[in-house]
Amino acid sequence: TIYRNGLWNDGAEGFGHVLIEFDEPPALDEVTWESSSGGTGARYRGVITELPVSWSEARALAQQLGGELASLETEAEADFLFENLVAFHSLWTMTNYNGGPWIGLELVGGSWQWTSGVPLDWNPWRPGEPNGTGDKGCFFSYLDGPRREMDDTFNGNVRRAFIVEFEPDDTPCLG
Q: What confidence category does residue 172 fall into, taking pLDDT thresholds of 50, 70 and 90?
A: very low
Give start and end residues of each alpha helix (H) in the chain: 55-64, 75-81
Residues 6 or more apart whose Cβ sits within 8 Å of residue 97? 142
For the question of whether the overall pTM of this predicted structure is more than 0.95, the answer is: no
- Residue range 107-163, pLDDT digits in tens: 999 999 999 999 999 999 999 999 999 999 999 877 667 889 999 999 999 998 999
Query: What residues pair up with 105 in beta bridges, in sequence order?
Result: 114
Q: Provide the percentage of residues in the chain whose pLDDT is more than 70.
A: 81
pLDDT at 173 over 90: no
What letter would DSSP give residue 37? G
